[in-house]
Every structure is written in C-alpha cells, then in structure tokens.
C-alpha cells in the first residue's frame, strides 16, 4: 500500500522560510516529486528527487532521504504568490501516489 | 496546443446520467493519466495509458468508470449512471514517457452530480 503524510496547513510571514515535510511508506520507489497547486488550478511541477540529498532551484529546494522515507520542500524568501497547496508525490514506475497536500498561507 | 487541455471545464449533471470527459495531451507525449481530486483531498490515481493501451485500470473506482485513448492522443473518461460521490475535479496529465518523467496537468473538469 501507499502511505504519504504531510502537514495539512502551515502559515508563514512574507520574506520568511517555510519547510514542508513529507514522509512516505510505499510498496515501491523510483523518485519523489513536489507540485504546487493554487486554488482552482492544476498542479504545476516544482522538483524531482531520485537520489539522496538536496536539490536547489532558485527560492525552492527539495531534500530526500530514501533510507528514512523522508523529504522536505524548503521555500525561501516567501512571497504572497507562494500561498498555495504543496503536494508531495511518490513515483513507482508509471504511477504517482500523492499526499493530501499542505496548504501554505503567506501573511504580510 | 502548448499544454494539456480538458473539456468541459465544468459539468453539472443529474444523478443517473452518463458523462464524458475529454483530455487533449501535449503533442508527442506517449503517457496519459487520469486522476480524481475530491474537495480538500489529495489526487487519486484512476488510470494511465501508454500509447493507446491501459495496462493498469486498478484505480478505477467501479465498473461505471471507463476510459479510452485513440491515436495516441485524445482520451475520454466516461462515467455511467453518475452518483453524487462522483462529484470531484477530474485531472488529466501527460508525460513524455512513463519512466519517471514530469507529468504536466490540465486544468481539470469540475463535475457536480446533483
């Protein structure tokens, strides 16, 4: 079975840093994706980790530890437009299994 | 087009009616996926196509759900005898291949069954 856990909600101040954790227990693992989804819109790709370690892309970084079944998404220098839901998804061959998403609210 | 498109964007139907949802993937993408997202919940995998074949239909909730893909392009998801619990956003995504490529999502079809 697939079990992917992430916090339901997080709130942070504009300009701050927020870390969204994701833990997973899945029957298979080929990689881990992070997607951003604004309310009423489709998910958009943020990052993909297949090896352990940190992947940095501008203000967003994603970390993976396969032995711990753990990933996090780090959002730096938060902007109001970063208010959205962030989805952790584990890839097993062709299939993506998603967590329920973490709603991040950025306050001025 | 440049991205994945879906139609209709919104569909309201009466319980018991059949509905057909359409997905146009990005040109050249061989893999196509259907997901369901209920309000406040995560994405639920329904089915995927590699070319025109659907090797895994295990995610379809019941035999009222079916999907097909033709010409390695357009796909339709059909829900027969709709029930209120079918109300959700149905998202389609496509990728270059199934081997862990990034999936590009369409805007979704919001289905409301009254």
Q: What is the per-residue pLDDT across A5-28, written as a single tens digit (0 to 9) for each?
A: 999 999 999 999 999 999 999 888
Per DSSP (E only), the strands in chain A are 3-5, 9-13, 18-25, 31-37, 44-49, 53-57, 60-65, 70-75, 84-92, 95-98, 102-107
What residues does A55 pair with on adjacent strands? A62
The verdict on A60 touching B (C-beta cutoff 8 Å) is no
φ/ψ of residue A64, rounded to 5: -135, 135
Distance (Å) of CA B65 to CA A55, B24, B80, B92? 39, 19, 7, 15
**A95 to B106: CB separation less than 8 angstroms, yes or no:** no
Question: A4 to chain B: which residues are within 8 Å by CB?
Answer: 42
Query: pLDDT, tens digit, for every residue of A50-105?
Result: 999 999 989 999 999 999 999 999 999 999 999 999 999 998 877 888 999 999 99
pLDDT at B100 over 70: no
Rounded Cα gap, residues B114 and A89, in angstroms: 32
| Contact assignment for A100 to B98 by CB distance below 8 Å | no
Nearest residue of chain B to residue A36 (CA atoms):
B105
A94 inside 8 A of chain B by CB? yes
């Amino acid at each position: 079975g697939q079990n992917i856990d992430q916090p339901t909600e997080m709130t942070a101040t504009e300009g701050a840093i927020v870390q969204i954790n994701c833990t997973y227990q899945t029957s298979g693992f080929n990689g881990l994706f992070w997607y951003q989804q604004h309310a009423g819109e489709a998910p958009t790709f943020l990052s993909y980790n297949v090896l352990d370690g940190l992947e940095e892309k501008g203000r967003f970084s994603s970390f993976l530890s396969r032995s711990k079944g753990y990933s996090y998404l780090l959002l730096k220098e938060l902007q109001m437009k970063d208010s959205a839901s962030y989805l952790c998804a584990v890839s097993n061959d062709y299939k993506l299994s998603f967590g329920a998403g973490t709603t991040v609210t950025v306050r001025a | 087009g440049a991205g994945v498109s879906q139609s209709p964007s919104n569909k309201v139907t009466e319980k018991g009616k059949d509905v057909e949802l359409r997905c146009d993937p990005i040109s050249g993408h061989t893999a196509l996926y259907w997901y369901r997202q209920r309000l406040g919940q995560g994405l639920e995998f329904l089915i995927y196509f590699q070319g025109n074949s659907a090797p895994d239909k295990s995610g379809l909730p019941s035999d009222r759900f079916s999907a097909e893909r033709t010409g390695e392009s357009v796909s339709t998801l059909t829900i027969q005898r709709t029930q209120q619990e079918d109300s959700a956003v149905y998202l389609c995504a496509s990728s270059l291949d199934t081997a862990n490529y990034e999936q590009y999502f369409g805007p979704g079809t919001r289905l409301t069954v009254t």
